[in-house]
Each structure stands twice: as structure tokens, then as C-alpha cells.
Amino acid sequence: MICPVCKQEFERGLNDMENMSCSECDLGGFTAIFAAGWRDGVLKKMVEEYKYQAIWALGDVLAEVLEEMLPSKDEIFWRDLGQCEVVIVPLPTIGRHVRERGLDHTFRMAHKLAKWRGWKCERILSRAADTVQVGAKAADREEQARKAYEVYGKVDAERIYVLLDDVWTTGASMRAAAEMMRLAGAKRLVGLVVAVGKAREI
């Protein structure tokens, strides 16, 4: 696994958050952020073919990658968060992109993962602005992300919310989504992404 904030790799199968090499990072309100791998090689190819070419089967493969990477349901990590209901919240895809591709890629991954884990999947976040971040500079991404999301579903402080996205580049989208969830009352937030962009991509 990779900490997307400090870009360090650490071992899978951790039972205690104190053992994480990214425990000193500013996670922007998240209890933890899990990332499966670098946005490189085969993983990059799978994400792009799934997202841009709507190869639906790859969504199941990527969801399985996330399932195997996450701490198991019985590990200390989840118990430390409390015996709460877990809800996966996909970061919403721009509506125009869903229409063009015929696929809401983050929702499909979230729905599949939730089914395997016995969790719920809810579209709590919606798009307030359809800004496209691909190719934007880091400062522009931060500004766009602050205006991108709004909460239109019910948020329960007693639930654990797992925010899911495909790629972490600067983290602007995930941090903005987390901020909106916190303002709506969420207390326990976990970040989950498939791939992390390397420093040269930012």
C-alpha cells in the first residue's frame, strides 16, 4: 500500500494504525487513506481503460484489488473506529462524462466493493460544479475542488464513511469531499483510492 500524502510505501496486513509509516501525515480529516498502488504500468492501464473506454469488467477487477488491500473486517483498525455501520461513498463523476462513457466508474466500483464487504453504498455527494481537473495545476485543482461537491444525502455521525475515488493526484478532490462530509456531520472518514500519481505528475 501507499500513503498518497507522503508517497511512502508500507506493508499490507497492518493490525494497528500506529504501525503505519504515514501516521505523521496530515490526512485532512481522514482517519486513514488507503491506496492500492502507483498510477503506473498495468494499474494505470486498467484504470484508464475502465474509466475512458468503459470496459466494465475492469471495474470488478479494480474493486477486487481494493477488497484485498483493505484491512479485513475483523482487524483492529475497524474495531478501533467503533462497531458502526460502514457506508461507501463514491466521489461523483461529472454528469457529462457519465453520459459520454455510459458508465459511472466510481459508483460501480463502490457498489461492487460494498456488496462483497456487506456494507452499504450511498450516493451522498453530488457535483456542484463540473470542472475537469485533468491537466490542471495543483493550485487550480485545489480551487476547483473546493467548489465541486455538495452533500444531498443524510449523514449520520455514528456511521463510518469510506470515500472512494479512482486516482489521487494532489488529493484536492478527496480533501474537498471529506470537508463537505465533515460539515454535514460525519465524524469517521476513511479514504480509499486505486492509484496514486507520482510527484512528476503533479
> What are 17-33's pLDDT values in tens digits?
444 446 678 888 899 99
**Segment 88-100, tens digit of pLDDT:** 999 998 888 888 8
Residue 90 pairs with which residues in a beta bridge? Answer: 164
Distances (CA, A) of 27 to 6, 30, 71: 10, 5, 18
Determine the Cα–Cα distance for residues 157 and 58; give it in Å rounded to an integer: 33
Summary count for the chain: helices (H), strands (E):
7, 7
Does the structure show a pLDDT above 90 at 144?
A: no
Determine the Cα–Cα distance for residues 161 and 66; give it in Å rounded to an integer: 16
What is this structure's pTM? Answer: 0.86
| % of the chain beyond a pLDDT of 90 | 54
15-28 residues labelled b (16+ CB within 10 A) or e (exposed): eeeeebebeebebb
| Count of C-beta atoms within a 10 Å radius of residue 41 | 10
Rg (CA), the chain: 16
Residue 101 pairs with which residues in a beta bridge? Answer: none
Closest Cα partner for 63 from 105, 2, 5?
Answer: 105
Q: What is the pLDDT of residue 199?
A: 64
Does the structure show a pLDDT above 60 at 202?
A: no
Determine the Cα–Cα distance for residues 109 and 137; give it in Å rounded to an integer: 27
More confident residue, 23 or 53: 53
Does residue 200 contact residue 40 with C-beta atoms inside 8 Å? no
The percent helix, strand, coil of the chain (3-state, each to 5) is 40, 20, 40
Residue 161 pairs with which residues in a beta bridge? Answer: 87, 189
Closest Cα partner for 81 from 157, 19, 151?
Answer: 157
